[in-house]
Amino acid sequence: MQSSKFSIDKVRAQFPALNFKNKQQVFPIYFDGPGGTQMVQGCIDRMLEYIETGMANLHGTFSTSIKTDALLEEAKEAVGDLLNCPAEEVAFGQNMTSLAFQVSHSLRPLLKKGDEILVTQLDHRANVDPWIHLAKETGATVKWIPVDKERLVLDLSNLDALINEKTKVVGIGLSSNLTGTVSDAKRIFKAAKMVNAITIADAVHAVPHFLVDKQELGSDILFCSAYKFFGPHLGIAAIKKDLFEQLEIPKLKPAPNEIPYKLETGTQNHEAIAGLCGAIGFIEDLGSGENRRERLKSGMEAIEAHEEKLMNSLQTFLKSIPEIKLYRAPEDITKTPTFAFRTNGIHSREATKFFAEKFNLCIADGHFYASTMAEVFPVMETGGWIRIGFAPYNTLEEIEIFKKALKELLQRKT
């Protein structure tokens, strides 16, 4: 249900970067949401407010320290509502990748030689390599859920064999930062729980596009990154209490032993944590409801409804151009507004350079660290994929400019 509060003009007015012209005095068109969204004013305000009203380290008797303690708790409560998990399970870190490596180290004592770890071909390597590293350290074996090359979804036909009594860790991306495919993580985690495996969700590309429910998913560990949803560069981990308590995380002796603080090694980025509250507040303010979770749900629905319009427009266009090869799952599969495609005969870097220089279109190219996919589809010789990914501040008018740019690029070649 579209919230009546969603007004594209009001949304755009909250993103100062949209009004910052380049050297040629052209407004940028940000189509690299999956690489990182622009920062919302509410986030910037909270960061500035924290800095301008006095910063401090934790656990002091003086006012700015007391304020900082309260800020961290406020942010964890907000993340708890965003992900549907208790605030005490939420920890912050540098980024998702660093947190995943930290967690992978601390899972070591729970695995032994002969155990199995399951990862996927579709995922960003941040949800693959930490678990491969864990396998190397423990003698466990890595198994892969393959991608169905035709449908661009995970091929779950062999799931019963892939998840068995030896399976100890299962890492699944909720949605692909390359193709936008939303995977059936709930089904996979259910099978993993039947054999008591630890379930790990990479929600980095999911949180900006739909409401994630950690409890309903059945994930023990979930990661996301605030810079993908209008916030600062900050990693977030949510780890189920009983598992979190078991984890032996490398830490300094005087640092807290309690969850979630034991994962937060060193001093955190307090100003970014303040900004995160503003970013979550932006989603919440787009919605309505009795409590924050309800407002976040309806805010996300408003975002989804807007992004669906953008998605339909671009998809119809890309499918109509014979020189374009679109890597997109079929109609019956839920997808985020993230498109991967290639142009016949044009190197992807040449294309994005043209879009950037001539139209100030911010469009990325490459494998985006979903690099296993670039082995399955050997595309890197011609620059990998071109990726367009939307955020709530994008418009149909911006897509029209891209259509013009692409047509011009293709004409240049004929």
Q: What percent of the residues of the chain are helix, what percent strand, and what percent coil, each to the nearest 5?
A: 45, 15, 40
> Is 287 an interacting residue with respect to ligand PLP (CB under 6 A)?
no
> Is 181 an interacting residue with respect to ligand PLP (CB under 6 A)?
no
CB 355 within 8 A of CB 197: no
Within 8 A by CB and 6+ apart from 259, the residues are 88, 89, 91, 239, 241, 244, 245
CB atoms near residue 377 (< 10 Å): 18
Q: How far is the CB of 202 from ligand PLP (least distance, A)?
A: 5
> Is 372 an interacting residue with respect to ligand PLP (CB under 6 A)?
no
Nearest by Cα to 125 from 105, 96, 151: 96
Q: What is the rounded CA–CA span in Å between residue 156 and residue 121?
A: 12
Contact with ligand PLP (CB under 6 A) among 218, 235, 383, 389: 235
The 145-174 site mask, x for binding ligand PLP (CB under 6 A), equals ----------------------------x-
Tokens of 383: 């620059």
H or E segment and range at residue 300: helix 292-320
To which residue do tokens 């953008």 refer?
A: 310
Q: What is the rounded CA–CA span in Å between residue 87 and residue 216?
A: 16
The 125-144 site mask, x for binding ligand PLP (CB under 6 A), equals -xx-----------------
Stretch near ligand PLP under the rule CB under 6 A, chosen from 12-20, 120-128, 133-141, 298-306: 120-128
Contact with ligand PLP (CB under 6 A) among 2, 64, 95, 265: 95
> Is 202 an interacting residue with respect to ligand PLP (CB under 6 A)?
yes
Q: How far is the CB of 283 from ligand PLP (least distance, A)?
A: 18
> Is 205 an interacting residue with respect to ligand PLP (CB under 6 A)?
yes
127 versus 352: smaller Cβ distance to ligand PLP: 127
> Is 199 an interacting residue with respect to ligand PLP (CB under 6 A)?
no
CB 155 within 8 A of CB 147: yes
**Which residues from 26-55 bind ligand PLP, rule CB under 6 A?**
34
CB 336 within 8 A of CB 206: yes
Contact with ligand PLP (CB under 6 A) among 97, 219, 269, 336: 97
Stretch near ligand PLP under the rule CB under 6 A, chosen from 4-12, 17-25, 200-208, 296-304: 200-208
Contacts to ligand PLP by CB under 6 A: 34, 95-97, 124, 126-127, 173, 177, 202, 204-205, 225, 235
